Amino acid sequence: MGEVKKGALRKLLTGPLEGSLILGGGRTSADFKMEKIPEKAEGVMLSGLRGKKRDGFVSRRLNRPLSIRLSRYLARYPITPNQISFISFLLSVLAAVLFVAGGYVTLLLGGVLAQFASIVDGCDGEISRLKFQQSAYRGWVDSVLDRYAEAFLLFGLTWHAYTTGTQHLAIFAGFLAILGSFMGSYTADKYDALMASKIKAKIRIGRDTRTALIFLGALLNQAFWVLVVIAAIMNAETIIRILVYRPINNLKRLKDEIKRIISRSKVPEDPVHAPNALEWLLKLEPGWMKHC
């Protein structure tokens, strides 16, 4: 169950039922407890989804609390995680159609629908945990649909900006926004995995943040400028990741090389101390990394 506290769930499911009280209708307090177990177990499982490491600021503060409430309702019905992913994708496509339609009202409705689709997008993973339907394939399909959904949204916003007077600038800004969002998603997995132990707290610029910016742009009737902001932020983030990743990747490579060399030593103690060798070298000469 991943981040879910298994101990709490196990205690809930196997807790003692001794000392049961006799209730009305021949029912006991043990019967009442057994009836409450599914509801409580569901709450324990969902509580483990709060504060996921990969959640951005918008997901933690807005999307996740709302999607968990929605998932508790959807879990009662025979709906699959993949179906929820596809529904979220269709909502994003509909939002893009509203952007293309032109006019402030349809732009605003499209922004609201895009934000709602982002909330629904969190339900597929939650439902997969509640129904024990997690799989690597399901997660991959969800990621693919997310990329398509975001491309539709940004294209729709670009079309709206193009028809409101900015024209060629809108096409350029839209292209950079789509490119930046794709590169941000492409570089995220490896960068996040590498930096997980290096950065304790940071604002993750993910799809939730980009969708929130789209919603704000629609609300303020500033389609062109939100494209400019997304393009600037995401391409800058990609460049920063490249610059930060290189020395840390070199550091990891050198650590592995030192471990490999020292592991061949005939002195029994050397392999044990191999992980600390590079750290001591860094303390002796902190500036050597700039030459890597």
Q: Which DSSP category does 61 fall into? A: I
One domain, residues 89 and 172: yes
One domain, residues 287 and 165: no
Task: With respect to residue 72, please indicate whether it lies within any of the assigned structural domains.
Answer: yes
DSSP E strand stretches across 109-170: none
One domain, residues 194 and 272: no
Task: With respect to residue 161, please indicate whether it lies within any of the assigned structural domains.
Answer: yes
Torsion of CA 46, 51, 57, 58, to 10 degrees: 0
Side-chain-facing half-sphere of 107: CA atoms under 13 Å? 22
Question: Which of 206, 222, 245 is CA-nearest to residue 56?
Answer: 206
Task: With respect to residue 124, please indicate whether it lies within any of the assigned structural domains.
Answer: yes
One domain, residues 93 and 231: yes
Token pair belonging to 152: 């539709």
pLDDT for 153-163, tens place per residue? 999 999 999 99
CA gap 52, 11 in Å, rounded: 23
Quote the pLDDT of residue 36.
Answer: 47
Residues of the chain with pLDDT under 70: 1-55, 190, 192-204, 246-255, 257-259, 262-292
CA gap 17, 25 in Å, rounded: 19
Quote the pLDDT of residue 193.
Answer: 64
Total domain count, the chain: 3
pLDDT for 175-223, tens place per residue? 999 999 999 888 877 676 666 555 544 566 788 899 999 999 999 999 9
Task: With respect to residue 55, please indicate whether it lies within any of the assigned structural domains.
Answer: no
One domain, residues 189 and 44: no
One domain, residues 227 and 279: no
Q: Are 192 and 205 in contact (CB under 8 A)?
A: no
Side-chain-facing half-sphere of 173: CA atoms under 13 Å? 23
One domain, residues 126 and 199: yes
One domain, residues 36 and 166: no
One domain, residues 165 and 282: no
Task: With respect to residue 212, please indicate whether it lies within any of the assigned structural domains.
Answer: yes
One domain, residues 128 and 215: yes
Largest CA distance in the chain: 80
Task: With respect to residue 54, please indicate whether it lies within any of the assigned structural domains.
Answer: no
Task: With respect to residue 56, please indicate whether it lies within any of the assigned structural domains.
Answer: no
User: What Rg do the C-alpha atoms of the chain give, in angstroms?
Assistant: 25
Quote the pLDDT of residue 100.
Answer: 95
One domain, residues 149 and 241: yes
Quote the pLDDT of residue 218.
Answer: 95
Q: Which domain holds residue 281?
A: 254-291
Task: With respect to residue 53, please indicate whether it lies within any of the assigned structural domains.
Answer: no
Q: Is the pTM of this model over 0.85?
A: no
One domain, residues 68 and 110: yes
